Amino acid sequence: MFSLLLPYYFIVVCSVADDLIEERTPIFSQENEHYSTPSAVQDVGENKNIESSLQKIENLAASAEKSRREGILPTDHADKLHSRIVETLEDITEQLKHKTKAYKFLNSKGVDRIITPIIGTTYEPLKKQLLIVIKTLFNVAPITTKALIPISVVDKLLDIFEHDDNLALKAHALDIMYIWLPNNPTVQARVMRRKGLEAFYNQISKLDNTAIYTLLDLFHKILKEHIDARNSKSQRNKEDYERMQLYQTIGLIERMATPQVCNGLFNILEALMTFSNDDKQVSILIFELVKNMKTFCLKLYKGKDKAIQLFEGLENYFMDPQNVDLLHSLELNMTEVIVVVKDFVKNLKDSVRDEF
- How far apart CA 131 and CA 136 sit, in angstroms, is 9
How far, in Å, are 56, 61, 284, 295, 337 from residue 88 at the CA level? 8, 12, 41, 50, 51
CB 63 within 8 A of CB 81: yes
- How far apart CA 247 and CA 258 sit, in angstroms, is 18
CB 87 within 8 A of CB 129: no
Q: 216 Cβ partners below 8 Å, 6+ apart?
A: 268, 285, 288, 289
- How far apart CA 147 and CA 334 sit, in angstroms, is 42
The answer to whether the predicted template modeling score (pTM) of the entire model surpasses 0.85 is: no
What is the structure's pLDDT at 18? 58
Count of CB atoms situated within 10 Å of the CB of 189: 17
Amino acid at 259: P
- How far apart CA 83 and CA 89 sit, in angstroms, is 10
Q: Name the H helices within 123-237.
A: 124-140, 142-148, 153-163, 167-180, 185-194, 198-201, 209-231
- Intervals of the chain under pLDDT 50: 1-10, 12-13, 16, 19-46, 353-356
What is the structure's pLDDT at 47? 54
- How far apart CA 82 and CA 60 sit, in angstroms, is 7
DSSP 8-state code for residue 202: T
Q: How many CA atoms lie within 13 A of 223 on its CB side?
A: 20
Average pLDDT, the chain: 83
Q: 287 Cβ partners below 8 Å, 6+ apart?
A: 318, 332, 337, 340
CB 126 within 8 A of CB 156: no
How large is the angle between the packed helices 167-180 and 209-231, nearest 10 degrees?
20
Amino acid at 253: I
- How far apart CA 44 and CA 280 sit, in angstroms, is 49
How far, in Å, are 6, 8, 221, 356 from residue 2 at the CA level? 6, 10, 41, 78
DSSP 8-state code for residue 205: G
Cα of first residue to Cα of last residue in the chain, in angstroms, is: 82
310-321 confidence digits (pLDDT tens): 999 989 888 888
CB 344 within 8 A of CB 309: no
